[in-house]
Amino acid sequence: MRPSWIGFVLSACLLAAGAARAAEAPPPPSSDKPEAKDPSDSERYFNTPDEMIPYRRQEPYLRFFLDAHGTGLEYTGPGREKPEPAGLKSVKIGYVGPLHRVVPDADGDMMPAQYYEMGQYMLRGAELAVEEANARGGYRGALPYELLKRNDAVVQVDFGWLWAPFSTHVVDLCYEEKVWALFGTIGGENSHILIRIALKAEIPVMNSADTDPTFPETRIPWLFRVISDDRMACYTLAKYLYEVRELETAAVLRYNGRYGRVGTKEFREASRRLGHPLLIELKFVNGETDFRKRLEWIRRLDPQAVFLWGNAVECGRIVKQMRAMGMDQAVVGSDRMIHPRFLEIAGEAAEGVVAAGLWDPTAPNPKREAFERRFRERWGTVPETYAAHAYDGMTMLIEAIEAAGLNRARIRDALEERRRDVFRGVTGDIPLNDIYTDAGAVSLAVVRDGAWHFLSEEESGITFPRAGERTKEAVPCGTP
């Protein structure tokens, strides 16, 4: 009987305390919801618009990734005291990216041909930056830079993901080849493995292609990214649909993998915060050709817009089948749709489709124009987003090595300094925010007369706060 009496007494005490607090508390507001307060930059993560900041109507226990002191992700460990080695023949940089397939191409492959095409552009951009650095005399006029390349094969096969070869490549680069930094890769699956090895090996990583929003949120102070992410792309598309176009409802059809799942999550949450919860979210796999059943489900719900998130081939097929079925909804989608294959497959049905661009390749920029000329001369083709961002990332990395010397921790510190000194690249200005990722402007791309046309934030009517930008007067961090 004793436990029952103890419980009774405790319950009575808790009820009495609750009644006393209620008597002292002020009356609740008349509105069902408390008024949202104006957010400050200390509450703003990664240029998030005011209306999309979570928990605006209540105070959360903790806001992740925000640092009012501007100290970023400090690295306070050892390593800066290590002397520069002697007797080197080159300055090695490890490159990990999709170079070639290790299993045959097949319909339904988790990483289709477009992934390897993206990898080739990324490699060419990185190689051009290294070649130009060597033409200027190499490392401090004394040693050539050497790019050690390893294959990133993220292919789902019957016996699972090919992660073991990838992780072995990265470990070999860090401990056997003793590279000074790592560069890569594209897919979020392997990128997360890469940075965890880098955390253990204490080596800086430069990324120019993985747009996974969760990638830098691991709080690993060795990771830097010079491309915006799918969060900002989805925020841009949400503001375009609901504010610029003033549409009310949307449905989602997205790739059934990490790229589709993580990217679409941001659009789903942005839609809900703006008061437009999604009507339905359906999935597809790479290699599919018939989407009519899922499109019929969407048509019955009669949304005003359809949000696509996937690669160019499948999205092109979806748009073509939508228009053939008489579906005239507005269509928006991911930056991977900004590709010649999308236009080739969708044909006239692509007219008016809008995609989120992670940069504006048509904005006036003498650096980009000169880069495009050099790239065409070297590779015989026009550079695209993965080539341009890789060139910027490798250039930033080489500049950090030149400034810091051959010491991994100091190279990391030199990269961190970019938070206080915006990098002027071929893709535009790259301000690094508190998690060392590109917080610069994004754009919209719209299909007109069979070609992609880019709109800046101002031209599209969409602007974002720039909480990620900092000046040289910011609080120092990561000093030796």
Residue 264 contacts residue 252 (beta carbons within 8 Å)? yes
- Of 289, 323, 357, the position where a domain reaches its end is 357
Q: Which structural domain, as residue segments, surrounds residue 425?
A: 91-228+362-440
| Residue 392 within any structural domain of the chain | yes
| Residue 41 within any structural domain of the chain | no
Place of tokens 């508190």: 434
- Identity of residue 134: N
- Identity of residue 327: M
Residue 267 contacts residue 292 (beta carbons within 8 Å)? no
Report CA-CA distances (Å) from 240 to 35, 204, 245, 279.
25, 36, 6, 18
461: left (phi over 0), alpha (psi -120 to 50) or beta: left
- Identity of residue 215: F
Closest CA to 47 of 33, 22, 65: 65
Residue 468 contacts residue 232 (beta carbons within 8 Å)? no
Strand order in the sheet with 205-207: 145-151, 91-97, 182-183, 205-207, 223-225
Show pLDDT as tens, one digit a residue, over the chain (480 residues): 344 444 433 344 434 444 434 333 444 444 444 454 555 555 677 788 888 887 777 777 777 766 544 456 889 999 999 999 999 999 999 999 988 765 555 544 445 678 889 999 999 999 999 999 999 999 999 999 999 999 886 555 444 456 677 888 899 999 999 999 999 989 877 888 899 999 999 999 999 999 999 998 888 999 999 999 999 999 999 999 999 999 999 999 999 988 999 999 999 999 999 999 999 999 999 889 999 999 999 999 999 999 999 999 999 999 999 999 999 999 999 999 999 999 999 999 999 999 999 999 999 999 999 999 999 999 999 999 999 999 999 999 999 999 999 999 999 999 999 988 899 999 999 999 888 999 888 899 999 999 999 998 888 888 888 654 443 333 333 332
Beta strands in 130-222 (DSSP E): 145-151, 156-157, 160-161, 182-183, 205-207
Residues 6+ apart with CB under 8 A from 28: none
pLDDT at 153: 65
Cβ-count burial of 364 within 10 angstroms (0-12 exposed, 13-18 middle, 19+ buried)? exposed
- Of 336, 357, 378, the position where a domain reaches its end is 357
On whether both 273 and 375 belong to a single domain, the answer is no
On whether both 95 and 203 belong to a single domain, the answer is yes
47: left (phi over 0), alpha (psi -120 to 50) or beta: left
Residue 185 contacts residue 209 (beta carbons within 8 Å)? yes
On whether both 112 and 169 belong to a single domain, the answer is yes
| Residue 475 within any structural domain of the chain | no
pLDDT at 48: 82
The count of domains in the chain is: 2
Q: Which residues are 432's β-sheet partners?
A: 438
DSSP string across 42-66 = GG--TT--GGG-TTTTS--S--TT-
pLDDT at 39: 57
In this structure, what token pair is assigned to residue 95? 């490159």
Closest CA to 350 of 334, 335, 337: 337
Nearest-Å Rg of the Cα atoms of the chain is 25
On whether both 350 and 377 belong to a single domain, the answer is no
Measured between alpha carbons, how far is 269 from 441 in angstroms, rounded to an integer? 21
DSSP string across 86-119 = SS-S-EEEEEEE--S-SS---TT-SS-HHHHHHH
pLDDT at 60: 75
On whether both 385 and 348 belong to a single domain, the answer is no
On whether both 170 and 318 belong to a single domain, the answer is no
On whether both 224 and 366 belong to a single domain, the answer is yes
Closest CA to 286 of 445, 116, 98: 116
In this structure, what token pair is assigned to residue 214? 């969760």
On whether both 371 and 339 belong to a single domain, the answer is no
On whether both 177 and 209 belong to a single domain, the answer is yes
pLDDT at 188: 79
pLDDT at 207: 97
On whether both 238 and 307 belong to a single domain, the answer is yes
| Residue 6 within any structural domain of the chain | no
pLDDT at 287: 87
| Residue 243 within any structural domain of the chain | yes
pLDDT at 220: 93
Measured between alpha carbons, how far is 283 from 195 in angstroms, rounded to an integer? 29
- Identity of residue 355: A
- Of 325, 357, 389, the position where a domain reaches its end is 357
On whether both 390 and 294 belong to a single domain, the answer is no
Cβ-count burial of 67 within 10 angstroms (0-12 exposed, 13-18 middle, 19+ buried)? middle
pLDDT at 109: 45
pLDDT at 125: 98
| Residue 450 within any structural domain of the chain | no
| Residue 61 within any structural domain of the chain | no
| Residue 349 within any structural domain of the chain | yes
Q: In this structure, what CATH number is given to the domain that contains residue 206?
A: 3.40.50.2300
Number of residues that make up the chain: 480
On whether both 244 and 217 belong to a single domain, the answer is no
